[in-house]
Structure 1
Amino acid sequence: MRKNSIKNTRINGEVQRELANIIRGGIKDPRISPLTSVVAVEVAPDLKTCKAYISVLGDSEAQKATLAGLKSAEGYIRRELAHTVNLRNTPEIRFILDQSIEYGVHMSKIIDEVTAKDEENV
């Protein structure tokens, strides 16, 4: 796997920040949950493609609806990104559901339950 250059890391951060702003304030689609966050962004070195990892707090229906809403608004998001971020090419965005935050919360609950049982047994 290729290591990211400093330039690519800066571009990833800038695109992530602007995507979060666009999703939070620019899209009026009711399918998109207000509890949607951009966890990470990976822009290809040639600036042609971009993977945006999205986390949605809620059930699986809300996650599916949010992904569908984001995919339908992809053209608008790309155009807004082109206006706000000065890049040679505006990347084509692929939205990927990231469940790492939800998984972390679930594991934290399990750990809390186990420690509570251990304290009862002592």
Structure 2
Amino acid sequence: MRKNSVKNARINEAVREELSSIIRNLKDPRIAPMTSVTSAVVATDLKTCKVSVSVLGTEEEKADTMKGLESSRGFIRHELARILNLRNTPELSFALDESIEYGVRMSKLIDDVISKDEEAESGREKEEG
């Protein structure tokens, strides 16, 4: 199976969706409520899976969420095996993904620059008029 095959893409998406559902329903108080799975990349041999997780919160909440996910890794893998019918259930490794937070921050900066430009433009029009 090639790395970018349609079958592998379908498996990645199915694993991502199921992991999102499993993590959302975990009862661990360390896992922040605003935790989402941004991607899951399953190796072609179905032995490993790299899971990118985005956490909306403070640095402490992010660290606690990652600790909670690491300690729940066996349970999450067991639930994934129960739900998905794969030849092998991949070993999970979690990584923090801060791309969503970075995008929000950049969007806010762009909006701030646009509003300052509009204020400067309206100030110039008042001076001329």
**TM-score category, normalised to shorter length:** over 0.9
The CA RMSD measured in Å over matched residues stands at 0.9
Q: Equivalent pairs: percent with the same residue? A: 61
2:36 and 2:53 in contact (8 A); partners too: yes
Amino acid at match of 1:51: K
Deviation at 1:31, TM superposition (A): 0.1
What is the CA-CA distance between 1:3 and the residue it aligns to?
4.6
The 1-side partners of 2:45 and 2:74 are apart by 20
Equivalent residue for 1:45?
44
Counterparts in 2 of 1:19-34, with a 5 A limit? 19-25=19-25, 27-34=26-33
Secondary structure of residue in 2 paired with 1:113 = helix
3-state SS, counterpart of residue 38 of structure 2: strand
SS of equivalent residue, structure 2 residue 30: coil
> Counterpart of 1:56 in structure 2: which amino acid?
V
What is the identity, as a one-letter code, of the residue corresponding to 2:4? N
User: Equivalent residue for 1:70?
Assistant: 69
1:59-98 matched pairs, under 5 angstroms? 59-98=58-97
TM-score, structure 1 as length reference = 0.96
Q: Secondary structure at the match of 1:32?
A: coil
Q: Deviations over 1:10-63 (max 9, x none)?
A: 0001000100110011x2110001110000110000000001100000011100
- Measure how far apart 1:97 and its partner are: 0.3
Any unmatched runs of 5+ in structure 2?
Answer: 122-129
CA distance in 2, matches of 1:34, 1:4: 32
**Runs of 4+ more than 6 Å apart:** none
- Counterpart CA distance in 2 for 1:120 and 1:21 is 45
Is it true that 1:4 corresponds to 2:14 in the alignment? no
Inter-partner Cα distance in structure 1 for 2:4 and 2:62: 29
